[in-house]
């Protein structure tokens, strides 16, 4: 099963390599990873998308907690949470498909963020399914380049990571 | 008043109560060596290879219970420590390894003798630091010792750039370390302890399965109390040996690949296996699906990742083992169960297994059997000694035939299985206990991996006795080739061997050779009386095998018995 795990870590030199090394060294899979400092500059927040059965996910969260620089770990799969990622897609804009590109962008509440005589660059944010659905829909129109971010996540309601 | 980083290093170690360093100098750590020159209170043992320094720190820690310290230079000095660090990591041994590093301004430049040792060792340390500012140095050292020795212990590496050692700041050593990101669980949950006690009351065929955690937490006395109170049999892993007396009626000996028949049978038939500071390693469980097939599993460990990793625990208890043992003993003391009567049928069954297949070998009059050497070492020392081992058949025979009484008397590389570990570890143990008899039970292959440390032992007058079970083979590998590879002895015979007696003499140590069984006892007595570093070259039966043996991947009740 796909799991979204957020990790609060000390914002220290080498933390990212400790976390990614844990995954590669123990054969856990990372589908995506994002990391940035929090309001408190001494901590960073990582969000990791991974897959595994219950036993593997249990090991992943325990092993993450065991890393000395890790302050807190949340596996969101058990609760209601918000997940967001962003994609930038550069597409061929031909006179005959411009309207379709703009229509898709609107349906997915995206934005055209750059225009050139031959290209449109579109930004879409949302949960994994939405971003993927957008990419699928736009594919037949001719994608030149795509850049997708890792996901970030947050609990709904009052609960926080720390 | 301001102090240099090098001064702060020395002062911090003294504050920490770490007054012995195993080390080897080089360019970037010269400022520290200059301070050591002025600080005789802080003893430094000059090794011959950095791997030796780390194994010595490890042996010192295992024997004494105090953290071991190693100090090496950057680049090759640092990379030479990797095997030692990985060895300590696999066995959860508290050591702190200080490596020199090129000045911060040169890091990343492929500077002379630069190695990214923090990166290289990342998967085999409990934690590591690169100190970038002298102001962080004292705190970092305090944290390093705190992390190495608390929770599940392990090696911590501290990388020290030369400019940090030369820079100055005020010295203040923290009284207490507090880290928001590291708060190991120390207290065992009482409710889980109650569940464990209730399971023991219900069980008909319980087994206490004890690992290295029992030794690391100094809980052997609690184990004795528990086993005797509830009349439950005790089996130990290689790492747990010494935590329960071998000759106790309740002792089953070691379990697993080269475990005793009765231990492996007991674990296969138990209805409650209580894992105490052990981690269900594959050398212990054999084929996992058939391990303890009828058992409920209780697992006490300070490391949550160890629990339900290989074998699902029905009763998990996270916490310090000693604390858990004390609480468990307190609950048991209140129990109304007549344990002796309840477990009599089970103990009778175990007794039958014990007599069905004992540890034994065929004695010969003209050739020395390696098992006989171990029995003689056991007899001559009366068990009052510290035994390190190398890796291979020598290690397994030592584990099987020594009758250990006390924890911290059996030092062996269990997790990594590092040939070359035993001798430097023995030197470290001897440094901790100068008056004790310390043995390295060695193979002719393993001893050549760190033989250079004879120079260290002689220089420091550390009277370690190396007992080589010289079979002229990489014996354990040869045994596998014989049993599983159609007798094809592919590159397991070192046709050229040094004359170990002359080798000892060349280093200024004592060399003794024994080739007949009647020479074994006298050779040992002579070595023990000499009180100087000694090699005894026991020329033993060349193709003796270690039995019982569970072939890798088989269930542990399917033992080859001879
Ligand atoms: C550093 C290292 N290299 C290789 C091995 C694989 N290995 C395990 S036992 C063994 C043979 C050891 O030979 P020896 O020291 O003579 O001991 P014996 O088995 O003959 O008692 C080898 C090569 C190892 N454990 N460690
Ligand atoms: Mg050998």
**Residues in chain B within 8 Å Cβ distance of A25:** 123
From the CA of B393, how far away is ligand 2's center (Å)?
Answer: 7
Whose C-alpha lies nearest to ligand 1, atom 17? B443
Contact B91/B415 with Cβ under 8 angstroms? yes
Alpha-carbon gap, residue B504 to B420, rounded angstroms: 17
Q: Mean per-residue pLDDT for B425-454?
A: 98
User: Residue B9 above 80 pLDDT?
Assistant: yes
Alpha-carbon dihedral A12, A16, A19, A24, rounded to 10 degrees: -150
Contact B87/B424 with Cβ under 8 angstroms? no
pLDDT in tens, B180-239: 999 998 899 999 999 999 999 999 999 999 999 999 999 999 999 999 999 999 999 999
pLDDT for the residue numbered B552: 92
Could you tell me the pLDDT band of residue B555, with boundaries at 50, 70 and 90?
very high
Contact B502/B474 with Cβ under 8 angstroms? no
Is the CB of B181 less than 8 angstroms away from the CB of A59? no
From the CA of B445, how far away is ligand 1's center (Å)?
Answer: 6
Q: Is B236 a catalytic residue?
A: no
Element of type H or E holding A88: strand A81-92
pLDDT for the residue numbered A127: 93
* Residue B395 DSSP SS3: helix
pLDDT for the residue numbered B316: 97
pLDDT in tens, A102-131: 999 999 999 999 999 999 999 999 999 999
- Residue/partner pairs of B190-195 with CB below 8 Å, 24 or more apart: B190/B327, B192/B315, B192/B316, B192/B317, B193/B317, B193/B324, B193/B327, B193/B328, B193/B331, B194/B331, B195/B315
pLDDT for the residue numbered B562: 85
How many residues belong to chain B?
562
For testing contact with chain B, the best of A65, A66, A162 (most B CBs within 10 A): A66
The residues facing A143 across adjacent strands are A91
Q: Which residue among B419, B482, B500 has the greatest number of ligand 1 atoms within 8 angstroms of its CB, and so is best to mutate?
A: B419
User: Residue A77 above 90 pLDDT?
Assistant: no
Could you tell me the pLDDT band of residue B163, with boundaries at 50, 70 and 90?
very high
Is the CB of B126 less than 8 angstroms away from the CB of A70? no
Is the CB of B309 less than 8 angstroms away from the CB of A9? no
pLDDT for the residue numbered A131: 96
Q: Mean per-residue pLDDT for B297-321?
A: 96
Question: What Cα–Cα distance (Å) separates residue B550 from each residue in B253, B259, B402, B554?
Answer: 15, 8, 21, 6
* Residue B480 DSSP SS3: helix
**Residues in chain A within 8 Å Cβ distance of B316:** none
Q: Which residues of B touch A (CB under 8 A)?
A: 118-119, 122-123, 126-128, 130, 132, 147, 179-182, 303-305, 308-309
pLDDT for the residue numbered A78: 77
For testing contact with chain A, the best of B116, B139, B181, B312 (most A CBs within 10 A): B181
Q: Is B222 a catalytic residue?
A: no
pLDDT for the residue numbered B509: 98
Q: Rounded to the nearest 10 degrees, what angle do helices B517-530 and B370-381 cross at? A: 40
Q: Are strands B68-72 and B95-101 parallel, antiparallel or unpaired?
A: parallel
Alpha-carbon gap, residue B479 to B413, rounded angstroms: 20
Percent of chain B with pLDDT over 90: 99
pLDDT for the residue numbered B150: 97
Is the CB of A66 less than 8 angstroms away from the CB of B123? no
What does DSSP assign to residue B249?
A: T
**Residues in chain B within 8 Å Cβ distance of A62:** 304-305
pLDDT for the residue numbered B206: 98
Pocket of ligand 1 (CB under 6 A): B 390-394, 417-420, 443-446, 469, 471, 473-477
Q: Mean per-residue pLDDT for B52-66?
A: 98
Tokens of B300: 């006490």
**Residues in chain A within 8 Å Cβ distance of B126:** 68
pLDDT for the residue numbered B256: 97
For testing contact with chain B, the best of A57, A68, A72, A162 (most B CBs within 10 A): A68
Alpha-carbon gap, residue B368 to B469, rounded angstroms: 9
Whose C-alpha lies nearest to ligand 1, atom 8? B392
Could you tell me the pLDDT band of residue B523, with boundaries at 50, 70 and 90?
very high
pLDDT for the residue numbered B457: 98
From the CA of B43, how far away is ligand 2's center (Å)?
Answer: 35
pLDDT in tens, B317-372: 999 999 999 999 999 999 999 999 999 999 999 999 999 999 999 999 999 999 99
Q: Is B476 a catalytic residue?
A: yes
C-alpha distance from A128 to closest chain B C-alpha (Å):
30
> Scanning every residue of chain B, which has its alpha carbon at the shortest distance from the alpha carbon of A69?
B181
The chain-wide mean pLDDT, for chain B, equals 97
From the CA of B445, how far away is ligand 2's center (Å)?
Answer: 5
| Residue in the structure block whose two tokens are 């020392």 | B381
Alpha helices in B27-166 (DSSP H): 30-38, 50-64, 76-79, 82-90, 117-121, 137-149, 162-166
User: Residue B95 above 80 pLDDT?
Assistant: yes
Say which of B130, B181, B303 has its CB closest to residue A71. B181
* Residue B40 DSSP SS3: coil
Say which of B119, B130, B305 has its CB closest to residue A66. B305
* Residue B432 DSSP SS3: helix
pLDDT for the residue numbered B275: 98
From the CA of B309, how far away is ligand 1's center (Å)?
Answer: 28
Question: What Cα–Cα distance (Å) separates residue A16 from each residue in A33, A67, A86, A152, B187?
Answer: 10, 11, 21, 16, 31
User: Residue B160 above 90 pLDDT?
Assistant: yes
Residue A133: Cβ within 10 Å count: 15
Question: What Cα–Cα distance (Å) separates residue B198 from each residue in B92, B192, B193, B315, B324?
Answer: 31, 10, 9, 11, 15
State whether the Cα torsion B128-B14-B70-B212 is positive or negative.
negative
**Closest atom of ligand 1 relative to the B370 alpha carbon:** 21
Q: Mean per-residue pLDDT for B137-143?
A: 98
> Scanning every residue of chain B, which has its alpha carbon at the shortest distance from the alpha carbon of A64?
B305
Contact B158/B29 with Cβ under 8 angstroms? no
DSSP E strand boundaries for B307-464: 315-318, 386-389, 410-411, 438-443
C-alpha distance from B46 to closest chain A C-alpha (Å):
32
Alpha-carbon gap, residue B216 to B151, rounded angstroms: 10
C-alpha distance from B89 to closest chain A C-alpha (Å):
14
DSSP letters of B515-526? -SHHHHHHHHHH
From the CA of B494, how far away is ligand 2's center (Å)?
Answer: 9
pLDDT for the residue numbered B105: 97
> Scanning every residue of chain B, which has its alpha carbon at the shortest distance from the alpha carbon of A68?
B182
Is the CB of B181 less than 8 angstroms away from the CB of A9? yes
Helix, strand and coil content of chain B, in percent to the nearest 5, comes to: 45, 20, 40
Could you tell me the pLDDT band of residue B482, with boundaries at 50, 70 and 90?
very high
**Residues in chain A within 8 Å Cβ distance of B147:** 68
Q: Which residue among B421, B446, B541, B543 has the greatest number of ligand 1 atoms within 8 angstroms of its CB, and so is best to mutate?
A: B446
pLDDT for the residue numbered B318: 96
Pick the closest to residue B241 from B393, B83, B386, B54 (CA basis).
B386
Pick the closest to residue B276 from B193, B351, B168, B365 (CA basis).
B193
Could you tell me the pLDDT band of residue B490, with boundaries at 50, 70 and 90?
very high
Is the CB of B308 less than 8 angstroms away from the CB of A65? no
pLDDT for the residue numbered B186: 83
Whose C-alpha lies nearest to ligand 1, atom 4? B419
Going across the sheet that includes B20-23, the strands are: B43-46, B20-23, B68-72, B95-101, B155-161, B127-130
Alpha-carbon gap, residue A83 to A136, rounded angstroms: 19
- The one catalytic residue among B15, B16, B66, B113: B113
Could you tell me the pLDDT band of residue A162, with boundaries at 50, 70 and 90?
confident
Contact B52/B453 with Cβ under 8 angstroms? yes
């Amino acid at each position: 099963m796909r799991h979204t795990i957020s990790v609060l870590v000390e914002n220290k030199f080498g933390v990212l390599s400790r976390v990614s090394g844990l995954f590669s060294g123990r054969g856990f899979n990372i589908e995506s990873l994002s990391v940035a400092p929090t309001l408190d500059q001494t901590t960073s927040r990582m969000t990791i998308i991974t897959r595994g059965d219950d036993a593997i996910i249990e090991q992943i969260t325990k092993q993450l907690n065991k890393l000395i620089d890790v302050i807190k770990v949340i596996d969101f799969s058990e609760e209601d949470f918000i997940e967001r990622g962003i994609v930038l897609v550069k597409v061929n804009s031909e006179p005959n498909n411009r309207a379709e590109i703009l229509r898709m962008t609107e349906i997915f509440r995206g934005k055209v963020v750059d225009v050139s005589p031959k290209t449109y660059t579109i930004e879409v944010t949302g949960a994994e399914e939405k971003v993927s659905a957008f990419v699928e829909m736009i594919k037949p129109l001719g994608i030149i380049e795509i850049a997708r971010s890792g996901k970030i996540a947050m609990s709904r309601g009052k609960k926080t990571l720390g | 008043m301001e102090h240099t980083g090098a001064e702060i290093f020395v002062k911090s170690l003294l504050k920490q109560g770490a007054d012995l360093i195993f080390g080897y100098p080089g360019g970037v750590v010269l400022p520290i060596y200059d301070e050591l020159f002025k600080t005789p209170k802080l003893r430094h043992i000059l090794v011959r290879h950095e791997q030796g320094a780390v194994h010595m720190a490890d042996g010192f820690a295992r024997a004494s219970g105090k953290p071991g310290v190693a100090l090496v230079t950057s680049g090759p000095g640092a990379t030479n420590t990797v095997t030692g660090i990985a060895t300590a990591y696999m066995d959860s041994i508290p050591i702190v390894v200080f490596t020199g590093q090129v000045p911060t301004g040169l890091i990343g430049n492929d500077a002379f003798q630069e190695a990214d040792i923090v990166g290289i060792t990342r998967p085999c340390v409990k934690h590591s630091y690169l100190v970038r500012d002298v102001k962080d140095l004292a705190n970092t050292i305090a944290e390093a010792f705190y992390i190495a020795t608390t929770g599940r212990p392990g090696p911590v590496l501290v990388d020290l750039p030369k400019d940090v050692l030369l820079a100055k700041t005020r010295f203040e050593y923290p009284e207490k370390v507090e880290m928001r990101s590291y708060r190991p669980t120390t207290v065992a949950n009482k409710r889980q302890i109650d569940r464990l006690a209730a399971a023991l009351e219900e069980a008909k065929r319980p087994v206490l399965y004890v690992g290295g955690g029992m030794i690391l937490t100094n809980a052997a006395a609690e184990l004795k109390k528990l086993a005797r109170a509830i009349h439950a049999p005790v089996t130990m892993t290689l790492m747990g040996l010494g935590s329960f007396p071998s000759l106790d009626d309740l002792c089953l000996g070691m379990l697993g690949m080269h475990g005793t028949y009765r231990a492996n049978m007991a674990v296969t038939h138990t209805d409650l296996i209580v894992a105490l500071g052990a981690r269900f390693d594959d050398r212990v469980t054999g084929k996992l699906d058939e391990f303890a097939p009828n058992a409920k599993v209780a697992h006490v460990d300070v490391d949550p990742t160890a629990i339900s990793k290989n074998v699902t625990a029905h009763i998990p208890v996270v916490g310090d083992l000693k604390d858990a043992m004390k609480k468990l003993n307190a609950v048991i003391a209140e129990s109304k169960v007549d344990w002796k009567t309840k477990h009599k049928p089970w103990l009778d069954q175990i007794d039958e297994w014990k007599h069905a297949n004992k540890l034994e070998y065929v004695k010969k009059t003209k050739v020395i059997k390696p098992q006989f050497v171990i029995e003689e070492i056991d007899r001559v020392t009366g068990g009052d000694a510290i035994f390190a081992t190398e890796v291979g058949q020598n290690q397994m025979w030592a584990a099987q035939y020594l009758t250990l009484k006390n924890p911290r008397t059996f030092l062996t590389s269990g997790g990594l299985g590092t040939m070359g570990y035993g001798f430097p570890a023995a030197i470290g143990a001897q440094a901790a206990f100068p008056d004790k008899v310390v043995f390295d039970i060695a193979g002719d292959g393993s001893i050549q991996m760190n033989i250079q440390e004879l120079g260290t032992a002689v220089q420091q007058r550390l009277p370690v006795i190396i007992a080589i079970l010289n079979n002229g083979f990489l014996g354990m590998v040869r045994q596998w080739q014989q049993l599983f590879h159609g007798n094809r002895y592919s590159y397991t015979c070192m046709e050229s061997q040094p004359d170990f007696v002359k080798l000892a003499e060349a280093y200024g140590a004592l060399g003794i050779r024994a080739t007949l069984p009647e020479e074994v006892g006298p050779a040992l007595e002579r070595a023990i009386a000499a009180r100087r570093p000694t090699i005894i070259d026991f020329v033993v039966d060349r193709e003796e095998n270690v039995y019982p043996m569970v072939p890798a991947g088989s269930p542990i009740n399917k033992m080859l018995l001879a």
